[in-house]
Amino acid sequence: MNIHALRDAFQERYGVTPRLIVRAPGRVNLIGEHTDYNDGFVLPIAIDRATFVAGRLRDDRTIRVYSAQFDLEDQFDVDTIERLPDASWANYVRGVARGIQARDLPLAGADLLIDGNVPLGSGLSSSASLEVAVGYALQLLNNFNLLGEELALLAQGAENSFVGMQCGIMDQFMAALGQFDHALLLDCRDLSYRTIPIPPAVRIVICDSGVRHSLVGSEYNDRRAACTEAVRLLKARLPKITALRDLSPADLERHAAVLPADILPRAQHVVTEIERTQIAAQALEQGDLARFGSLMYDSHASLRDNYEVSVPELDLLVELARSAPGCYGARMTGGGFGGSTVNLVAADQVDAFVAAIGPAYQRQTGRQLDPLVCRASDGVGRASIK
Ligand code: GLA
């Protein structure tokens, strides 16, 4: 991303230079999928791809915002922020501004220009990076103070109420608080976390299947509803539980009979995945990459068979990775129904890995594969221009 080009584009559009430019990264989750909204654990990294927002304040109450990626502009009054009827990128911006208003924080009019290099729709949380970047730019421009955790919660709230996706906290938390060269073992119940260094001997390789499903939002919300229903039914036997986090796999097995056949496998995925994530974090800390990788494969199988959020292209990418050189483990990452896989690959075999998996995927699906070798990066911050 060229910061100077972004500044020039801002100048050209609004006739003045921006007061600041901020960046917020996308994320890739190493393990712990569909656990965040069950009060469980996740183990993501922020990636070295980000959304950038250039901005300056205006003298009136209007926010004007231009997306270079979509070549579209939106404009709204900060005192009457409405949700747009269609699923538009602008709702992420409006939702964040509305969240700031709702917290009684100062919010003046502003000109904003957005660009970025997080691939859109690949399951790498371009939307969370947009929300957090916009929130942080408005925070600096209006001079109020939010902790990283509060900014993440505000951004998540925007997505829940303005966009209508009942997502958990993982993506926004990483856009706000990711750490260079580290994964975060995040406890989504109380938002405490432990940082775990990514061993220098491995690289994280992302493979975008190229598949995008339009039903992602509603399928996601359905899965979430199944988890809520599982907790409601299990409470009859275990009145103290408030989330699937409160059950071990053995507890669930003991009380499996209270769950209908379509809900039990969903709960099974969640409780085993929460356990796997904690074991995987330990393995990573101990440098046991083989163990970590095998837990990634287990996670994928559970997402495919029990949670049913994979697609054949993601399954194929995982199978191809399994026999590719240097691969410790692979799995689908993010919400699913298309998107990407994450692969843990020996640093000195990345080229061989890519050379093996790319042509095979293309041969079998007709789709080109463009793997992304990424590095764990810091969360939101200023990009340049003091
Ligand atoms: C999406 C959501 C996250 C999380 C993942 C699945 O990325 O935004 O909150 O639930 O799916 O792990």
What confidence tens digit (pLDDT) does each residue in 194-241 have? Answer: 999 999 999 999 999 999 877 667 899 999 999 999 999 999 999 999
Of 57, 49, 68, the C-alpha closest to 139 is 57
Host domain of residue 59 = 3-197+377-383
- Residue 125 inside a domain? The answer is yes
Q: Is the pLDDT of residue 385 over 60?
A: no
How many beta carbons lie within 10 A of that of residue 359, not counting itself? 13
Of 10-19, 82-91, 140-149, 314-323, the poorest mean pLDDT is in: 82-91
- Residue 15 inside a domain? The answer is yes
DSSP strand pairing (327-333 vs 202-212): unpaired
pLDDT, one tens digit per residue, over 39-72 is 999 999 999 999 999 999 999 999 999 999 999 9
DSSP strand pairing (110-116 vs 381-384): unpaired
User: By the 8 A CB rule, do 119 and 339 touch?
Assistant: no
CA-nearest residue, atom 2 of ligand 1? 167
Integer Cα distance of 228 and 213 in angstroms: 24
Phi-psi region of 297 (alpha: psi -120 to 50; beta: other; left: phi over 0): alpha
- Residue 348 inside a domain? The answer is no
Interval between CA 33 and ligand 1 midpoint (Å): 7
pLDDT of residue 42: 99
pLDDT, one tens digit per residue, over 285-298 is 999 999 999 999 99
- Residue 179 inside a domain? The answer is yes
- Residue 208 inside a domain? The answer is no
Q: How confident is the model at residue 86 (pLDDT cuts 50, 70, 90)?
A: confident
- Residue 237 inside a domain? The answer is no
Q: What is the total count of domains within the chain?
A: 1
Kindly report each contact of residues 139-146 with a partner whose C-beta sits within 8 Å and lies 24 or more positions away, as own/partner: 139/100, 140/20, 140/22, 140/382, 141/19, 141/20, 141/55, 141/56, 141/57, 141/108, 141/110, 142/57, 142/100, 142/105, 142/106, 142/107, 142/108, 143/106, 144/100, 144/105, 144/106, 146/105
- Residue 106 inside a domain? The answer is yes
Interval between CA 148 and ligand 1 midpoint (Å): 19
pLDDT of residue 216: 64
Location of structure tokens 């692979």: 330
Q: Is the pLDDT of residue 302 over 50?
A: yes
Q: How confident is the model at residue 386 (pLDDT cuts 50, 70, 90)?
A: very low
Q: Is the pLDDT of residue 12 over 60?
A: yes
Pocket test for ligand 1, best of 167, 222, 341 (most atoms within 8 A of CB): 167
pLDDT, one tens digit per residue, over 304-347 is 999 999 999 999 999 999 999 999 999 999 999 999 999 999 99
DSSP codes, 317-361: HHHHHHTSTTEEEEEEESS-SEEEEEEEEEGGGHHHHHHHHHHHH
Integer Cα distance of 316 and 314 in angstroms: 5
Interval between CA 170 and ligand 1 midpoint (Å): 6
Interval between CA 296 and ligand 1 midpoint (Å): 17
Query: Which phi and psi (to 5°) does residue 179 adopt?
Result: -130, 135
User: By the 8 A CB rule, do 94 and 121 touch?
Assistant: no
User: By the 8 A CB rule, do 294 and 318 touch?
Assistant: no
Q: Is the pTM of this model over 0.95?
A: yes
With a 6 Å cutoff on the Cβ, whether 335 touches ligand 1 is yes
Looking at residues 267-291, what average pLDDT do you find? 98
Question: Which atom, in ligand 1's list, is nearest to the CA of 165?
Answer: 8
Q: How confident is the model at residue 163 (pLDDT cuts 50, 70, 90)?
A: confident
Radius of gyration of the chain, Cα coordinates, nearest whole angstrom: 21
User: By the 8 A CB rule, do 346 and 292 touch?
Assistant: no
Interval between CA 125 and ligand 1 midpoint (Å): 9
Pocket test for ligand 1, best of 171, 218, 228 (most atoms within 8 A of CB): 171
Integer Cα distance of 116 and 111 in angstroms: 17
Q: What is the DSSP letter of 10?
A: H
Q: Output the CA–CA distances (angstroms, integers) from residue 146 to 128, 154, 191, in the order listed.
A: 17, 10, 15
With a 6 Å cutoff on the Cβ, whether 171 touches ligand 1 is yes
Q: Which residues contact residue 350 at a Cβ distance below 8 angstroms, ignoring those fewer than 6 apart? A: 203, 205, 326, 373
pLDDT, one tens digit per residue, over 345-371 is 999 999 999 999 999 999 999 999 999
Integer Cα distance of 197 and 41 in angstroms: 17
Question: Which atom, in ligand 1's list, is nearest to the CA of 29?
Answer: 12
Q: What is the CATH number of the domain that holds 148?
A: 3.30.230.10
With a 6 Å cutoff on the Cβ, whether 131 touches ligand 1 is no
Average pLDDT, the chain: 96
Interval between CA 218 and ligand 1 midpoint (Å): 13
Residues annotated as catalytic are 171
Looking at residues 102-108, what average pLDDT do you find? 97
With a 6 Å cutoff on the Cβ, whether 6 touches ligand 1 is no
With a 6 Å cutoff on the Cβ, whether 167 touches ligand 1 is yes
- Residue 180 inside a domain? The answer is yes
